[in-house]
Amino acid sequence: MQVATSRAGANLPAGIASALGAARGARDAVLEVDEAYVPAMIQAAHPGVVVLLNLSRDQLDRVNEVKMTADRWRRGLAMAGDGCTVVANVDDPMI
């Protein structure tokens, strides 16, 4: 069974596209997605499962505030549809 993944940790759209392109026959993908791109990836990929591990205060210059990112994630998950399973870290109060 082939699974698309980015072993190098490239989590921006170009790296994700490269990982998917390298595994064209893969039915499944396990991808790290940059926090700012989670909603766009959910909308584009229609995933069966989304795993949300943690939100932390890294790269605030780029994503502004953790609460804003959490709000974006919620809006993204609203687009996922009923068939999507969400696995979330209940120890992180923002998730």
Domain ranges of the chain: 48-95
- Tell me what the mean pLDDT of segment 1-24 comes to: 92
Q: How confident is the model at residue 1 (pLDDT cuts 50, 70, 90)?
A: confident
What are 24-75's pLDDT values in tens digits? 999 999 999 988 899 999 999 999 999 998 776 665 556 567 888 888 888 9
CB within 8 Å of 51: residues ≥ 6 apart: 86, 87, 88
- Stretch (H or E) spanning 71: helix 66-78
Q: Which residue has the higher pLDDT, 30 or 90?
A: 30
- What pLDDT is stored for residue 26 in this prediction? 95
Tokens 């210059």 found at:
61
Q: Which pLDDT does position 95 carry in this prediction?
A: 78
Average pLDDT over residues 9-18: 93
The continuous run of DSSP H or E covering 86 comes out as strand 85-88
Query: Is the pTM of the predicted complex or chain greater than 0.85?
Result: no
